[in-house]
């Protein structure tokens, strides 16, 4: 579904590897997990106070 092996997903989950930024949009769409959760080092959560 994501186009990566189960061991690679495991590496993402346990922090041994980071999801490449260019794949975040695709993974976000497939999993429903926001990109700021997948890579908090790059993206900040959307603020409810945005004006």
38 contacts 17 by C-beta, under 8 angstroms: no
Token pair of 32, please?
A: 């429903």
Token pair of 25, please?
A: 């949009």
Q: Is 13 helix (H, G, I), strand (E, B) or coil?
A: helix
pLDDT of residue 8: 94
* pLDDT tens, per residue, the chain with 51 residues: 788 999 999 999 999 999 999 999 999 999 999 999 999 999 987 776 554
Q: Please indicate, yes or no, whether the overall pTM of this predicted structure exceeds 0.75.
A: no
Rounded-to-integer distance, Cα 5 and Cα 29, Å: 18
Q: What is the pLDDT of residues 15-29, one digit of tens each?
A: 999 999 999 999 999
Rounded-to-integer distance, Cα 40 and Cα 3, Å: 22
Rounded-to-integer distance, Cα 2 and Cα 9, Å: 9
């Amino acid at each position: 579904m994501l186009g990566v092996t189960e061991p690679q997903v495991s590496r993402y989950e346990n922090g041994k590897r980071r999801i490449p930024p260019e794949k975040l949009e695709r993974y976000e769409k497939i999993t429903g997990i926001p990109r700021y959760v997948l890579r908090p080092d790059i993206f900040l959560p959307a603020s409810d106070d945005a004006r």
